[in-house]
Chain A
């Protein structure tokens, strides 16, 4: 399919014989923000890990066009590293020279508006800034697809607004963003399309393009899709 960045076809996954995902299919197009919405415990994070290639599905097909980077839940910043050294970590692991890695990290940080926090440790940063540092760490390798796991957890209203501006900016630059969240109102602010997953094991109850709708209508569509399950 033209313009498709990520496609899942009938993906199922079990852990210790307990089925977590049941025949999940979804499509995320290039440059869009695709929200996977659903209550806690329906396998959303598992789905994101499958897209990231961290987990293998038991059955089904996963098609990812381009490189992927995952921002885990709770940001996972390493507390003994400064923000800058957290961002450079993936580059260090790929063997890039220190100066080049720092320059690349600084460019990404500037794009996200967090340059002034680079010498600080995670404990010195607000929740929203920590989340942006984690996103910068994922972006520093310049992935085609960015995966965000529950990015709004623990953030206040201002931080959510700022984070959504960042997400919107990244997608308008042509990057595909797949965002997993149980927080409908927050995710509806940036969603171009969504897939609702409910039940145990998690099944898709609706997939919808909501580009033409306003934030409140998007949120209503998401809630309606969740209530079906």
Chain B
């Protein structure tokens, strides 16, 4: 299984590399190919790694915001009655707002150098997939353990503590995998508009300065970081969590 997965990554890397090189040739080398991008990264590792660290902090902070909102949403959803449609509507609304709109609104509100902006933007964008996953988990828990909860007279907070929250763990982890992915993708968008640093800010700057090799190199680094985090931590964690409900 691991060998197959490694082969899959290798094949994907070869295909992406080929397409990238073809795009570079097609643009008359205006888009730097893999070789100059790698050379740039090797020559300037410090600033790139610093920017990645900052973006990771933004994404993890954003995920924490999303997770807090989602747990609060789950508690409100569990109340039943108006709780369910309110949470569903809130999720739909947040799901429909582009990160650019969040970024601009929060930059105006909090200032262009605020570190809170990319954190909040990635949090608000990561909330919908996490909430969707938690609601799915709650529905599965109700269907599977509804009779048991009724037989044990478990309701409200006690039902949530003893049954629904533990039953939601694999859904929370699965949703977290998506949410962290979204947070990592979205936080550079917010960083690009502000002046507080991170990969997004660097990409915007390099684009303005026509430093295309640096632009592509930093983009590549962000992609690699996301793949490593997913393959090394989030994917295995999700696979482990599936056993929780067997």
Which residues of A lie under 8 Å from residue B166 when comparing CB positions?
78, 80
Cβ–Cβ contact A72 & B151, under 8 A? yes
Cβ–Cβ contact A89 & B152, under 8 A? yes
Q: Which 6 A-B pairs have the closest CB atoms?
A: A72-B147, A76-B148, A70-B151, A123-B246, A54-B150, A80-B166
Cβ–Cβ contact B163 & A78, under 8 A? yes
In the complex, what distance in Å separates the CA atom of A90 from the CA atom of B158? 12
Cβ–Cβ contact A54 & B244, under 8 A? no
A23 at the interface (CB under 8 A from B): no
In the complex, what distance in Å separates the CA atom of A10 from the CA atom of B244? 44
Q: What 0/1 pattern do residues 124 to 158 of B give for CB contact below 8 A with A?
A: 00000000000000000000110110111110001
Residue of A nearest to B243 (CB): A123
Given A70-B151, A93-B158, 5 more contacts at CB 8 Å?
Answer: A72-B148, A73-B147, A76-B144, A79-B244, A138-B151
In the complex, what distance in Å separates the CA atom of A138 from the CA atom of B166? 21
Cβ–Cβ contact B152 & A93, under 8 A? yes
Which residues of B lie under 8 Å from residue A76 when comparing CB positions?
144-145, 147-148
Interface centre among B148, B158, B166 (most CB of A within 10 A): B148
Cβ–Cβ contact A80 & B169, under 8 A? yes
Instruction: Write the nearest CB–CB distance from B162 to chain A, whole angstroms.
Output: 7
A190 at the interface (CB under 8 A from B): no
Residue of A nearest to B145 (CB): A76
In the complex, what distance in Å separates the CA atom of A69 from the CA atom of B151? 7
Which residues of A lie under 8 Å from residue B150 when comparing CB positions?
49, 54
Which residues of B lie under 8 Å from residue A73 when comparing CB positions?
147
B245 at the interface (CB under 8 A from A): yes
A52 at the interface (CB under 8 A from B): yes
Residue of B nearest to A79 (CB): B245
Which residues of A in the span 62-100 have a Cβ within 8 Å of any Cβ on B? 69-73, 76, 78-80, 89-90, 93
Instruction: Write the nearest CB–CB distance from A203 to chain B, whole angstroms.
Output: 24
Cβ–Cβ contact B151 & A89, under 8 A? no
Which residues of B in the span 159-206 have a Cβ within 8 Å of any Cβ on A? 162-163, 166-167, 169
In the complex, what distance in Å separates the CA atom of A121 from the CA atom of B141? 18
Instruction: Write the nearest CB–CB distance from B198 to chain A, whole angstroms.
Output: 38
Residue of B nearest to A49 (CB): B150
Residue of B nearest to A147 (CB): B151
In the complex, what distance in Å separates the CA atom of A136 from the CA atom of B3? 44
Cβ–Cβ contact A90 & B147, under 8 A? no
Residue of B nearest to A70 (CB): B151
Which residues of B in the span 95-133 have a Cβ within 8 Å of any Cβ on A? none
Instruction: Write the nearest CB–CB distance from B116 to chain A, whole angstroms.
Output: 36
Cβ–Cβ contact B154 & A52, under 8 A? no
Interface centre among A69, A80, A90 (most CB of B within 10 A): A80
Cβ–Cβ contact B147 & A78, under 8 A? no
Q: What 0/1 pattern do residues 113 to 139 of A give for CB contact below 8 A with B?
A: 000000000010000000000000010
Residue of A nearest to B163 (CB): A78
Cβ–Cβ contact B246 & A52, under 8 A? no
Instruction: Write the nearest CB–CB distance from A154 to chain B, whole angstroms.
Output: 15
Residue of B nearest to A92 (CB): B162
Cβ–Cβ contact B152 & A78, under 8 A? no
Residue of A nearest to B158 (CB): A93
